[in-house]
Chains A and B, each alone.
Chain A
Amino acid sequence: MANLTSNFIGIKSPNPFWLASAPPTDKEYNVRRAYEAGWGGVVWKTLGAEGPPVVNVNGPRYGVIHGADRRVLGINNIELITDRPLEVNLREIKSVKRDYPDRALVVSLMVPCDEDSWKAILARVEDTGADGVELNFGCPHGMAERGMGSAVGQVPEYIEMVTRWVKQHSRMPCIVKLTPNITDIRKPAEAAKRGGADAVSLINTINSITSVDLDDFAPEPKIDGKGTHGGYCGPAVKPIALNMVAEIARSPATAGLPISGIGGVTTWRDAAEFMALGAGNVQVCTAAMTYGFKVVQEMISGLSDYMDRKGFTSTADLVGRAVPNVTDWQYLNLNYVTKAVINQDDCIKCGRCYAACEDTSHQAIAMSPDRVFTVKDEECVACNLCVDVCPVENCITMKELPKGAVDPRTGQVVGDYANWTTHPNNPSAQAAE
């Protein structure tokens, strides 16, 4: 069993798996059971300002995208922040933290955009003994219409301003949670850093409509015949989240800023991928909502086995390890030439590679009358699509042509590393040194 203990901006937890601020962390009953199930930490469901709590819709709040066999690939929601009174939440936070001192407990906050509101709530949170705060600048529905959540997260100046207030009025570590509903994730991350944030967490949910009722002609989830966009999360958003994490991790302006990775983490492998791209820990919502708190046990055993296999003695050995290999397109080696190879022993003759290659663009797979599929090296552009659509793992693989070999498609000899910046077809090519 590898050592999974995590120290994220000074907040210690027995493992890097935290529950994200969401329904699974909305009350004491849940959080206690989550800790018992093995979660290293939780970010409490977002608290609002003093006064009458927000209200939620009383009809359905979730829309869903299913894969084969009704596997949940993505969920969207139109839920707001906690609809329970502030005092109740604060009392419960205090009680849980007292009983689980070794677990991380961070409190998510969203109050109106003025200094007094933030100052007021920070003092009360500090009093609970919580380990830190997370500023919810991400919620894309409902709260944004009231000038909070993603309405703040979409304006870097606001992010910086509020973060500064928080750091001014509290000694607690401060995580700024970013919304993905913007064009360049680096800008809000930079603003958070300027404001003094200890870390950023991302992503919050993505603006979305999951489906349309084709009898009532209304988006889902629909409330009395009408619907509104919701926030998308779950396995479907992971690729978007991974890219955003990587962008922040590799940008010189934000390099080294601790990141809490969120978005579609479902298995240990997802978590490890976020961490390899620079996340110090991960937060999980949809997987727990879909399968229950127990999923963390697979994450713990899987990450531990992986680290043992790799000889990693701490999660720090993994964090950021893939960041140097994330680059811009222009630096990719154009002299790296591969060809698809179909293993005839594993082939089940479904012909999906043929349909994909034939109808996509390249016509690089030949099909014999008795359904033997072979790659035509002189046509294969190495796009990898056949590998992706083949239902049998590892039946089709990409084989690298050795240096000096002739690519039968282009007739050119495979040479040393060379990229677009020096390519003759590039109008602004710099001469190679």
Chain B
Amino acid sequence: MTNSQLTPGVVPGRLTAESYCQNFADVAPPLDGHEARVAADRCYFCHDAPCVTACPTAIDIPLFIRQIATGTPEAAAKTILSQNILGGMCARVCPTENLCEGSCVRETAEGQPVQIGALQRFATDTLMAANAHPFARATPTGKSVAVVGAGPAGLACAHRLAMRGHDVTIYESRPKPGGLNEYGIASYKAPGGFARAEVDWLMQIGGISVVENWQLGRAGDGTLDDLLARHAAVFLGMGLAGVNALRIPGEDRDHVTPATDFIAELRQAADLAALPVGRDVVVIGGGMTAVDAAVQAKLLGAENVTIVYRRSQADMPASRHEQDHATAAGVRIIANAMPVAIHGNGAVREVEFAYTRPGPEGIERLPETFRLKADQCFKAIGQTLEGTPEAIRIAGGKIWIEHSGRTSLSRVWAGGDCALGGDDLTVTAVAQGRDAAEDIHTFLMGA
């Protein structure tokens, strides 16, 4: 350890080896068998349960919890995975406080929901520890489908298509599959290489091949027409590859970067101690990406980390639970302030903000300003669609789709973050990928 938390600039090795280990360990350790039984006992087995309605993939939660309670966690896992093939990752990353657990009747009764996420993890971990894959392929249909993007949407779509007997080729621009599970999700939510292990487990269904380092639209790789020529149908699950710019003076100074780049680098780092981080870090934005960048910067040893959001704290897209997680980690949250300039000489030294207030036409800038010391600044004000084929219809910055996932182009479906209708969550991406696969299957078999 050559540096400390007080070392100025953007430097690596601010902490002891031990602290890195502790800081990036499982944020919510798994339940053991006894804890799972106790937690499962609390489920009321509601009729037409509200938690099922609240789950974007409509997992039969009371049933799988009853299966855990009766000592059959593998059956529970199958109940989960038949609706949501990435049930293992979702158990770790879903904002359950807004989804299933938020609607649990015991939340209403006692302010203490059944621990649905943790129980889901218990079941899926048990099954995956046995390396068992509970689904089998249908008789091959001889039909071939292209899936663009190996994120949650693409993987869910590919698995369901393979299960129905189709041959699937996934085209992925990154060197590894997984999408934001591999490059985005906060590392303490899914430590131990879980994203990769889950993809390997998912692939056991067979019938899926992955072409890595292949980017749709990039010269030398291929176009949508190329894919349509080779495959009977195409599913676009390419997520949001671009990031929004701040559009303020000084944005091009050194150490002003997209938060997603920082997170991706962190997720892929072989040695966290080698990863440089600033002493004073400013994160601009109010969503999950802002929170994850801020918390992880803090865990890497930054002395001061501040999230600045232009609207009120209640308006932040990050859930209350995530905000609390950030503040508990020592991150400061400043609301109602917008960035106006980035100062510095080569690298960033200060970020200047103006106070805001809500007005009739959105937020209004106030004359008062303030500056925050910063040797690193992360932009987390949203990702944008990038690299979509020209011809496809776009609405509200996303690929326009029907409920079934069909786009404006024939034989082309889309789902996940790149498409309309989701909530930019892993679980909604899975739901859309799965549902599009079913529609593609109907289309292929009817044709």
Measured CB to CB, the residues of A under 8 A from B are 68-70, 348-352, 354-355, 358, 367, 371, 391-392
Contacts and interface: CB of A to CB of B under 8 A. Distances in A.
A371 B48 CA distance: 9
B35 to A, nearest CB: 11
Nearest to B41: A68
Contacts of A367: 47-48
B41 A351 contact: no
B47 A355 contact: yes
B47 A348 contact: no
Interface in B63-121: 105-106, 108-109
Contacts of A68: 41-42
B47 A392 contact: no
A348 B108 CA distance: 6
Interface string B38-54: 10011011111110000
A12 B45 CA distance: 50
Contact of A348 (B42, B45, B105): B105
A349 B44 contact: no
Contacts of B44: 350, 352, 391
B109 A354 contact: no
Contact of A354 (B45, B47, B108): B47
17 contacts: A68-B42, A69-B38, A69-B41, A348-B108, A349-B50, A349-B105, A349-B108, A350-B46, A350-B49, A351-B48, A352-B45, A352-B46, A354-B47, A358-B47, A367-B47, A367-B48, A392-B109
Given A68-B41, A69-B38, A69-B41, A348 B48 contact: no
Given A354-B47, A367-B48, A371-B50, A348 B109 contact: yes
Contacts, number: 38
Contacts of B37: 70
Nearest to B109: A348
A313 B11 CA distance: 81
> Which 3 A-B pairs give the minimum distances between C-beta atoms?
A351-B47, A355-B47, A68-B41
Given A350-B105, A371-B48, A371-B50, 8 more contacts: A69-B41, A348-B105, A351-B48, A352-B45, A352-B46, A355-B47, A367-B48, A391-B44
Given A68-B41, A69-B38, A69-B41, A391 B109 contact: yes
A106 to B, nearest CB: 40
A350 B42 CA distance: 13
Contacts of A352: 44-47
Interface residues of B, number: 15
Contacts of A354: 47-48
Contacts of A348: 105-106, 108-109
B109 A351 contact: no
A98 to B, nearest CB: 47
A239 B44 CA distance: 25
Contacts of B38: 69
A351 B49 contact: yes
B196 to A, nearest CB: 36
A393 B48 CA distance: 21
Contacts of B41: 68-69
A376 to B, nearest CB: 16
Contacts of B42: 68
A391 B45 CA distance: 11
Contacts of B109: 348, 391-392
Nearest to B47: A351
Contacts of B106: 348
A358 B109 CA distance: 23
Contacts of B50: 349, 371
Contacts of A70: 37
B114 to A, nearest CB: 11
A394 to B, nearest CB: 13
Contacts of B49: 350-351
B363 to A, nearest CB: 34
A69 B47 CA distance: 22
Nearest to B44: A350
A48 to B, nearest CB: 41
Best-surrounded residue of A349, A358, A392 (most CB of chain B within 10 A): A349
A348 B49 CA distance: 11
Best-surrounded residue of B41, B45, B105 (most CB of chain A within 10 A): B105
Best-surrounded residue of B42, B47, B48, B49 (most CB of chain A within 10 A): B47
Best-surrounded residue of A69, A351, A355, A391 (most CB of chain B within 10 A): A351
Nearest to B48: A351
Contacts of B105: 348-350, 391
A354 to B, nearest CB: 5
Nearest to B69: A68
A349 B105 CA distance: 6
A392 B105 CA distance: 11
A312 B428 CA distance: 64
Contacts of A391: 44, 105, 109
Contact of B46 (A69, A351, A358, A392): A351
A367 B38 CA distance: 30
Contacts of B47: 350-352, 354-355, 358, 367
A312 B48 CA distance: 48
Contacts of A350: 44, 46-47, 49, 105
B198 to A, nearest CB: 32
A350 B47 CA distance: 6
A363 to B, nearest CB: 13
B141 to A, nearest CB: 39
A367 to B, nearest CB: 7
B110 to A, nearest CB: 9
Contacts of B46: 349-352
Contacts of B45: 352
Contacts of A358: 47
